[in-house]
Each structure stands twice: as structure tokens, then as C-alpha cells.
Amino acid sequence: MQYIYPAIIHEDPDGLWAEFPDLPSCQTFADTMDELLTNASEALACELVESLSHRDKLPAARPMQSIPREETSYPTLIRANINLAKSSRSVKKTLTIPAWLNDRARAQGINFSKTLHDALLEKIG
């Protein structure tokens, strides 16, 4: 099953990042636009699968024209195929990190799950 949600793409000196106004906990980052769009689709699919697995009702996607436009950001639509995300079932993990590291990462909008996922893939090859 496919879903389409609006995302806001932000450009800043550190790269690109996307957020989903209807799904506040769903964000992703990348160095290139191609990578960002791929990451956004994957992040959206994982977020939707997670919500559905908890039997949460998915929020309605807001109309594009209701999303504010800014000089360094712009809205776009992202399509996610949750069937692909379901085939790679996620599990919830709890981790402990120093408070200062948590504070700095949150201030920068870092997605902890994505960061851990990427680090583990790099570590295990």
C-alpha cells in the first residue's frame, strides 16, 4: 500500500533535511537531494508502519497549499510504500547516552533511529 504525505525540505550549511508536518517525529537528513528524497520515502514508510503496528490512526495528509513557504525551505510530496517497509520489520531499542550528547543532537534535529541504523550498517558492513 502506498501513502503520500507532504514534507518540508530544508537547506542549511550542513546539508539537507526533511520533516513531515503531519508526522512530527519523522525527519531525515542527507547531503544530496537524491539521497534526501530516498531517505524521506524510507523514513515515512517506517513511521507509518510503526504507527499502524500500534493500531494508531494515521493523520490525514494536509493540503500542500497549507504548508508555509520560507526562503530556505520548500514543500514537496513524498510517496512511501509500506509493503517494502513491512518486509524489514523494525524493533524498538532503548539506549543510554550522556545527557549533553542527547541535548546537542536534539538541538540539531538528529534522528536517533536513523543515526543508529546507519552506524550499525557501517559497523557490520
Which phi and psi (to 5°) does residue 48 adopt?
-65, -45
Residues 54 and 71 placed together within one structural domain of the fold: yes
Same domain? 100 vs 112: yes
Domain membership of residue 74 as a residue range:
2-86
pTM of model > 0.75: no
Residue 20 sits in a domain of what CATH number?
A: 3.30.160.250
State whether residue 99 is helix, strand or coil.
Answer: helix
More confident residue, 125 or 16: 16
pLDDT the model gives residue 73: 92
| Residue 77: per-residue pLDDT | 97
Residues 6 and 23 occupy one common structural domain: yes
Residue 107 carries which DSSP code? H
Query: Both 81 and 22 in a single domain?
Result: yes
Q: Is 91 helix (H, G, I), strand (E, B) or coil?
A: coil
User: pLDDT at position 63, please?
Assistant: 94
Is 9 found in the same domain as 69?
A: yes
Same domain flag for 81 and 120 = no
Signed CA dihedral, 102, 21, 47, 43: sign only: negative
- Is residue 5 within 8 Å of residue 25, measured between CB atoms? no
Q: What is the pLDDT of residues 9-63, one digit of tens each?
A: 999 888 899 999 999 999 999 999 999 999 999 999 999 988 888 888 899 999 9
> What whole-number distance in Å separates Cα of residue 79 and Cα of residue 37?
9
Beta carbons within 10 angstroms of residue 106's beta carbon: 10
Number of domains observed in the structure of the chain: 2
- Same domain, residue pair 23 and 36: yes
Judge if 51 and 71 occupy the same domain.
yes
Q: What is the pLDDT of residues 65-113, one digit of tens each?
A: 999 888 889 999 999 988 866 666 666 777 889 999 989 998 999 988 8
- Do 81 and 26 lie in a common domain? yes
Same domain, residue pair 101 and 120: yes
